[in-house]
Amino acid sequence: EAYLVRHAGLTGLTFARTIAAGRERVGLAAEHLVGPFAPLPLDEGTQALLTYGCDALLAGDGIAATHVLGLRVEDVLRQLFAALGMDTSRRETEPDGTTRTDDAPLGLLLRRPIGDGRVPQELLGDDLLQFLHAILDSQTGMNLRNRLAHGLARPAM
């Protein structure tokens, strides 16, 4: 997992430099970065947030881009998994016997069968699944998802 975290840091730096060079050299725009998501079953709000985050990235605002795009990874996965038939919720029973429905945690979604019988590992591949877990969800990894959501992320991250 430590290797994946170091790899993510290097990949992030390379990605940021490539994006900046693409913006300067060939006029790379948010539409170019968001375009590959078009075939996915994403709602308009998610598409708008992806575009906003990519605009921030292209403008060199890594903090805004990270705070918007980092949380979109889970959003995109939830919408994709739901479209494929996965129940992305979890039912909780309260001590008084009542029940409530919550969003299932990301770690659970990455292990839960998709509606057609496949598991996320088959859809995403083992490398991407391990990467997502190490960077977004693992308590011993970056845990970027929780750090962003709870305001614990710092600029150096």
Task: Read off the pLDDT of residues 123-150 as tens digits, 9 standing for 90 and up.
Answer: 999 989 988 888 888 888 888 888 888 8
Query: Quick one: three-class SS letters along 18-70?
Result: HHHHHHHHHCCCHHHHHHHHCCCCCCHHHHHHHHHHHHHHHCCCHHHHHHHHH
pLDDT classification of 1: cutoffs 50, 70, 90: low
Q: What is the pTM of this model?
A: 0.84
* Spatial contact of 65 and 54, defined as CB atoms under 8 Å apart: yes
110-119 pLDDT, tens digit per residue, is 999 998 889 9
Q: What is the pLDDT of residue 141?
A: 82
Given the DSSP bridges, would you call strands 99-103 and 89-93 parallel, antiparallel or unpaired?
A: antiparallel
92-110 pLDDT, tens digit per residue, is 888 999 999 999 999 999 9
